């Protein structure tokens, strides 16, 4: 028996919004430690890794490890039927071929349930090597989304250059060149507005705007985003999900042809 309950459906809606542009379907691996999802996008350029800890749920029970393959378009249809403040409960029997998603209004006067067919997905888990990153940047998630959106107008690629002074995002194309520099913030009143750079050595990497923009669909989950970079390895874009876990996107760099 698997049962997981969250106080607000809005969190699940935001999580789905953060992955459904990259993935058509995905396997949710459930165990007593929580729910994990790891999947590559269709073009095998990026990898999405979602971790939801069992202690972040209002109620969590998982008697036996369970892998639930879900069509994310179908899940999105179901979540559209929930009000943001509804409680949401996911339930499945051991070895079941369906999952039940139930919404309850705060006053318990409206209860709806949706049974969704599960899929058998060929899932390949990838081993992600430990990396000592050269640069780790923490910045407001909205600012990162804004930069990715703005620079995508000028080029398919963005160059991220990180030094101890700051981080520079550049794009160059037919229109010309765009550069956005962010300096590390001095003192800020609010932690969520800070730009913090931890640098071991400077790094310059090129990434496809299309994927960065897809990752920023996770912006509503978190006030801050963390970018971890190292020469010739995938960028890690991480959004914390408060009290519940995190979503990490890995993006392979563009390399010299």
Q: Which residues bind other proteins (CB under 8 A)?
A: 40, 43-47, 124-129, 157, 206, 208, 233-234, 250-257
Neighbours of 19 (CB within 10 A): 22
98 or 179: whose CB is closer to other proteins?
A: 179
Rounded to a whole number of angstroms, the minimum distance from the CB of residue 53 to other proteins is 22
> For residues 59 and 91, is the Cβ–Cβ distance under 8 A?
no
Rounded to a whole number of angstroms, the minimum distance from the CB of residue 195 to other proteins is 27
170 or 224: whose CB is closer to other proteins?
A: 170
Q: Is residue 198 helix, strand or coil?
A: strand
Rounded to a whole number of angstroms, the minimum distance from the CB of residue 208 to other proteins is 6
Rounded to a whole number of angstroms, the minimum distance from the CB of residue 252 to other proteins is 4
Rounded to a whole number of angstroms, the minimum distance from the CB of residue 27 to other proteins is 14
109 or 124: whose CB is closer to other proteins?
A: 124
157 or 226: whose CB is closer to other proteins?
A: 157
Helix axes 72-80, 9-19, angle to 10 degrees: 150
60 or 250: whose CB is closer to other proteins?
A: 250
67 pairs with which residues across the strands? 29
Which pairs with CB-CB distance under 8 Å and at least 24 residues apart come from 163-167?
A: 163/199, 163/202, 164/197, 164/199, 164/202, 166/195, 166/197, 167/135, 167/137, 167/139, 167/195, 167/197, 167/227
What number of CA atoms fall less than 13 Å from residue 250's CA on the CB side? 19
Cα 79 off chain centre by = 18
34 or 253: whose CB is closer to other proteins?
A: 253
Rounded to a whole number of angstroms, the minimum distance from the CB of residue 215 to other proteins is 13
- Rg, the chain, Cα only: 20
């Amino acid at each position: 028996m698997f049962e997981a309950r969250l106080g607000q459906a809005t969190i699940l809606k935001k999580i789905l919004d953060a992955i459904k542009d990259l993935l058509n379907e995905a396997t949710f691996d459930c165990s007593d430690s929580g729910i994990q999802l790891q999947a590559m996008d269709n073009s095998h350029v990026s990898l999405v890794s979602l971790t939801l800890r069992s202690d972040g749920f209002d109620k969590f029970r998982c008697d036996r490890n369970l892998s639930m393959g879900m069509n994310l378009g179908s899940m999105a249809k179901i979540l559209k039927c929930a009000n943001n403040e509804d409680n949401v409960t996911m339930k499945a029997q051991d070895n079941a071929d369906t999952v039940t998603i139930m919404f309850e209004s705060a006053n318990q006067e409206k209860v709806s349930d949706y049974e969704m067919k599960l899929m058998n997905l060929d899932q390949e888990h990838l081993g992600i090597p430990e990396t000592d990153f050269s640069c780790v940047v923490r910045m407001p998630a909205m600012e990162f989304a804004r930069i990715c959106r703005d620079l995508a107008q000028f080029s398919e690629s963005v160059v991220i250059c990180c030094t101890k002074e700051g981080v520079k995002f550049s794009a160059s194309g037919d229109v010309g060149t765009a550069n956005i520099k962010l300096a590390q913030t001095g003192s800020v009143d609010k932690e969520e507005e800070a730009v913090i750079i931890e640098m071991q050595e400077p790094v310059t990497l090129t990434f496809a705007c299309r994927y960065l923009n897809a990752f920023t669909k996770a912006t509503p989950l978190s006030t801050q985003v963390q970018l971890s970079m190292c020469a010739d390895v995938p960028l890690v874009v991480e959004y914390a999900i408060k009290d519940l876990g995190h979503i990490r996107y890995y993006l392979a760099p563009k390399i010299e042809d």
